[in-house]
Amino acid sequence: MAAAPAAPVAAAAAAAGHRFDFDVIVVGAGIMGSCAAHAAASRGARALLLERFDLLHGLGSSHGESRTIRDAYTDARYPPMVRLAARLWADAEAESGGRRVLTQTPLLSLGPRSSAEVLASIRNAAGAEEVDDLGARWGGAFRVPDGWVAAVSERGGSGVLNATEAVKMFQELASKKGAVIRDNTEVVGIRRGPAEGGGVVVTTSAGEEFRGAKCVVTVGAWASKLVKSVAGVDLPIQPLHTMVLYWRIKPGHERELTAEAGFPTFSSYWDPHHVYSTPSLERPGMIKINCHGGPPCDPDSRDFVSGGGDVAERVAQWIDEFMPGHVETAGGPVESLPCMYSMTPDEDFVIDFLGGEFGEDVVIGAGFSGHGFKMGPAVGRILAEMAMDGEARTAAEAGVELGHFRINRFDGNPMGNAKDL
């Protein structure tokens, strides 16, 4: 999907009487950048999407075959964004001719009744109802101790998103709307355009330059590095090396744990481990069960062999405690795939204008803290509107509060937003 080289782009823009090569230049083609490029191009903007690696590579955060979409958030400010995203996921599937990237499943939240987090997540999930027969559901897959609470939601748009397919879908839709997409193009600089012309100039490691009216930066785990180097701004976003773990389902139980049989995505709040899972779907006979988080890493020099730390041991411990009859832990996970989180101290996103000399010409979407994928289409729309209109009207209409995503929440306050729980 590589585009024409830079010089013809600039020449074509100049010939058409445009002051800029592009209206919106998006840096980083993970889910956020791909959705932002699609949203901008859908509004008629001349959009350019730049990606440093091959498209759909596996070195960032948006690859693989499963991400949960769920509104069972402990923080009540997120469900409106999930609902907006769910609507936009459906719109995108329809726009792409009925392609399916979302498999709907029930949603299960469980944890000790003493956990404020599990209670809040149940309260905030649409249609979640406490169940007292968990041991009898799904072939008795869960062994839940006394004092635990479990709630199931059969609606609310929860399910499993095929991550790589979803990124591909948005890139293809963006391209159809006229966006130019360039891979193997690393952005190394963003600077103000000349005083008389304004806008921004985006430079690449190959020495190319693109002039844009606006720029959206969605570079995932590289956000702190890039923003520091182009604007001198410190974003407290820590990359974590995390793992996607697939476990073998014990013989005879393979079907019970499938999405097709109605097995849920689930989240277990078991201090100190937040364990989550998607039903058996993409790898028959296996189920993905993971632990939220991972050890800090440098995105440019990760340890792909042992970088995941003790995540697999912690998940195995959880499985042996709560799903011992259905999932095999002997020998460890059958497959482990590396991935990255971009953690903020408060685990809230960063969605804001970069400010400083860039004012409202550069918008940043970063720090998605291991829970951003489901929000991709909503975040992309918000970033595109901020770049093009200076405000995100869709967010306001959907009741999505953006105030707690601002960069200045960290000013003199390294931990960011206070949490009620």
Binding site for ligand FAD (CB under 6 A): 27-33, 50-53, 60-62, 67-68, 186-187, 218-222, 226, 242, 244, 290, 339-341, 368, 370-374
Q: How far is the CB of 252 from ligand FAD (least distance, A)?
A: 28
Q: Nearer Cβ to ligand FAD, position 28 or 199?
A: 28
Euclidean distance between CA atoms 379 and 395, whole angstroms: 9
Q: Where are the beta strands (DSSP E) in 97-222?
A: 102-104, 107-112, 129-130, 148-153, 159-161, 180-182, 187-192, 200-204, 209-217
Contacts (Cβ under 8 Å, ≥6 apart) of 108: 134, 150, 151, 152, 264, 265, 266, 267
Whether residue 331 contacts residue 274, with contact meaning beta carbons closer than 8 Å, is answered with no
Q: How far is the CB of 83 from ligand FAD (least distance, A)?
A: 14
Residue (42 or 290) nearer to ligand FAD, CB = 290
Of 82 and 120, CB closest to ligand FAD: 82
Nearer to ligand FAD, 20 or 89 (CB): 89
**Between 44 and 58, CB nearer to ligand FAD:** 58
* Stated length of the chain: 421
Between 13 and 69, CB nearer to ligand FAD? 69
**Shortest approach of ligand FAD to residue 359 CB, angstroms?**
21
Give dist(CA 120, CA 393) in Å, integer. Answer: 28
Q: Judge if the upstream peptide bond of residue 272 is cis by omega within 30 degrees of 0.
A: yes
> Cα–Cα distance between 352 and 360 in angstroms, integer?
9
Q: With contact defined as beta carbons under 8 Å apart, do 132 and 290 qualify?
A: no
Q: State in angstroms the smallest separation of the CB of 227 from ligand FAD.
A: 10
Contact of 247 with 286, CB cutoff 8 Å: yes
At its nearest, how many Å lie between ligand FAD and the CB of residue 281?
13
CB of 117 to ligand FAD, least distance (A): 17
Shortest Å, Cβ 344 to ligand FAD: 11
Contacts of 146 (CB under 8 A, 6+ apart): none
* Cβ-based neighbour number of residue 319 at 10 Å: 21
> CA 23 to CA 46: how far, in whole Å?
5
User: CB of 269: closest distance to ligand FAD in angstroms?
Assistant: 15
User: Closer to ligand FAD at the Cβ: 45 or 160?
Assistant: 160
Closest residue to ligand FAD in the complex (CB): 30
Distance CA 231, CA 216 (A): 14
* Cβ closest to ligand FAD, residue 38 vs residue 371: 371
Separation of first and last alpha carbons in the chain = 45
Distance CA 380, CA 365 (A): 9
Helices of type H across 218-328: 223-231, 311-322
CB of 340 to ligand FAD, least distance (A): 6
DSSP 216: E
The beta-strand segments (E) located in 44-198 are 47-50, 67-69, 102-104, 107-112, 129-130, 148-153, 159-161, 180-182, 187-192
Exposed (0-12), middle (13-18) or buried (19+): which is 377, by Cβ within 10 Å? buried
Comparing CB distances to ligand FAD, the nearer of 61 and 258 is: 61
Cβ nearer to ligand FAD, comparing 91 with 130: 91
CB of 371 to ligand FAD, least distance (A): 5
